[in-house]
Amino acid sequence: MADKGKTVHGEAANAGHRVLAPDDAEVEAYLETALNAPGPERAATDRPATGDHGTVVVLDFGSQFAQLIARRVRELNVYSELLPHDTRMAEIEARGATAIILSGGPMSVYDAGAPKPDPAIWSGRLPVLGICYGAQLMALELGGDVLPASKREYGPATVSITADDPLFAGIDREQPVWMSHGDSITRLPEGFRSTAHSGSTPFAGLVDPDRNLYGIQFHPEVAHTPRGRDVLRNFVVGIAGARATWTPANFIDSTVAGIRQRVDDHARSVGTDGLVICALSGGVDSAVAAALVHRAVGDRLTCIYVDHGLMRKKESELLRATFEQHLGMRLVMVDARQRFLARLAGVIDPEQKRKIIGDEFIRVFEEEAARLGQI
């Protein structure tokens, strides 16, 4: 069991606040928020272009820190994607993954319905790092034992590194860390050896070197584990061999070039001027898309913002100022507040509201797009 009922102060995301910054920083600010925001799984063909930098896949087992793990990897200049815990190994490999990280989670490995990964991830085809619940899963699935700990560890602890291991290269033998688990690994699977322990956790670190499987019972992604960044770097760069050359800036460059090429190819094939329209909802995803497309095609882009009346006070005015004055985009503002509110009148169920909003948004967007003529 891991992560239950604990928070780490200072790590709260500010994704709900719009960031205003000049030029590249504006796009990077939106991009950072979008990459860390939960959302539907992307198809492998829709993933951001990373060139030959490699990708570290973080499988999400419900940890409040899962997004933070992906962010910490990106801070090492290695691209990372957060995917559902049951993503198939074939899909992971199709994304060009160089390594897999298993997040912690709020459940016990023995709970009914406890999430489990595709067993193929244990094959040794890619290096795997299990964090907390992820480490317990690794041990249990491969034949070890996991039991409720005699003493739950929530908060600061000291880990003693007891064996030479590339995961702990360059790190002192005694390390302050942050723990958050109620279960403990009590017997290692065949092929594993212990690399660290704490006062209450006999196997705070474990490794099967033949299959490149690593597990730790502490959280390297949080600020309360001072050398956690080095642990992640040792795994991602030292063990997995990922190239530390990815940045939001080079992602922007490669994505903009790809958009420009696609628009130009389409324009030539159908004999148009390569005009583009983009729907703006006021959310992060559409803002990122619009900013990137504008960088690619400039004034050939027209953004359509559908004001559905559900934004925060004066947020529509802020959006208009941001896109028209700050970013210099051509923006069509559509006041559809009464249409949306009329369709939502009397509706209580949140899921039904979501579907109505999505359906009406598409209808309004299509109507406005038709007024612009051939695109």
Phi, psi dihedral angles at 71 (to 5 degrees): -65, -40
- Residues annotated as part of the active site: 132, 219, 221
The bridge status of strand 301-307 relative to strand 330-335 is parallel
Residues 6+ apart with CB under 8 A from 109: 1, 133, 136, 137, 140, 146, 183
Q: What is the DSSP letter of 321?
A: I
Kindly give, in sequence order, each residue whose CB lies less than 8 Å from that of residue 251, ignoring residues fewer than 6 positions away: 31, 48, 49, 50, 79
What residues have CB less than 8 Å from 253, skipping those under 6 apart?
Answer: none
Q: Which residues contact 325 (CB under 8 A, 6 or more apart)?
A: none
Measured distance CA(12)–CA(355) in Å, rounded:
29
Alpha carbons 64 and 87: distance in angstroms, whole number: 19
Token pair for 15: 């994704």
Q: What is the DSSP string of 347-364?
A: ---HHHHHHHHHHHHHHH
Determine the angle formed by the axes of helices 248-270 and 23-36, rounding to 10 degrees: 100
